[in-house]
Amino acid sequence: MPRHRGTYDPSNLTPYEISRSKVENFIQCPACFWMDRVKGIKFPSMPMWLLNTATDTLLKKDFDKFRNLRVPHPLMEKNGLKDIVPFHHKDIDKWRLSTHLGLRTEIKDLNLIFGGGLDDVWIDTTTNELIIVDYKSTAGKKSEDKKRLEPINLEGSYKKSFKRQMEMYQWILRQNGFTVKDLSYFLYVNGDQHFAKGMLKESKNSAIMNFEVQFIPYIGDDSWVFDTLQKVKKCLEQKECPKHSISGFGPKGDLPCEYLTFLNGIKSNKLKF
């Protein structure tokens, strides 16, 4: 049976596939989501963050080694996580396939298939509860005393989407019958651009960037997810475009949708193309 994805077709009775990232788009601006999924209007795409992808790939290799051994990674033990090990499951590689909604669940009441691709899953060996893990890469600022890298935190408007990402994956795994902790972890690798002497090796054509590693716990609450999916389905079936979000954008989260600003600029200048 052909997959029902991309532009939504209300006459297609096949369950419609909706990704975690598209649900996040709906949360940020229902109008932009509707134009994309219902009308097929393609917005400018973001560039591929290939260096971030590379760090994700390497971190997966790091934890897969100890996943196969069924023991904690030494850094997990160093950070007080001695009872937690990378979860060994036959579908772990499938769950990581975001473009194929590798981690998914079918919601029959809404005729939706909802999913995405996570970075990692660990398991608490004392409780047999699963723990969602998300890898993040950044290059942060110096601390106030200028002596070290400033520790990463989960504050800031744009990081709300990181938290929702965790909660959506927790919800999907629970729909698949797994027992999942509310506790999750962001594993940050923070590139040192301030204190390293450089990155080039003098003896050969090679370079190394030093990263600080930080485990950041986060207590998720996925109680909002199903209600939001109901709103997503209702939006997909609307005949008229919903209103653009008037907040939630910008560094402080107090600016309107960027595309609303762009479209209003065109209207106010009476531009024609």
H or E element, residue 106: strand 103-107
Residue corresponding to tokens 């069924």: 70
Distance CA(183)–CA(219), nearest Å, equals 4
Cβ-based neighbours of 251, under 8 Å, separated by 6 or more: 156, 157, 158
Q: Count of H helices and E strands in the chain?
A: 8, 8
Are 257 and 25 in contact by the 8 Å Cβ rule? The answer is no
Question: Which residue, 15, 172, 10, 187, is CA-closest to 98?
Answer: 172
Q: Is 212 left (phi over 0), alpha (psi -120 to 50) or beta?
A: beta
Q: Which neighbouring-strand residues pair with 213?
A: 189
Asked whether 234 and 110 are in contact (CB, 8 A), the reply is no
pLDDT, residue 2, reads: 83
Which of 57, 88, 28 is CA-nearest to residue 253? 28
The pLDDT, as a whole number, for residue 251 is 86
Mean pLDDT of each 10-residue bin along the chain, 273 residues long: 91 96 97 97 83 94 96 96 97 94 96 97 98 96 92 92 97 98 98 93 91 97 98 97 93 90 87 75
* Structural domains of the chain, ranges and CATH numbers in brackets: 16-242 (3.90.320), 246-273 (no CATH)
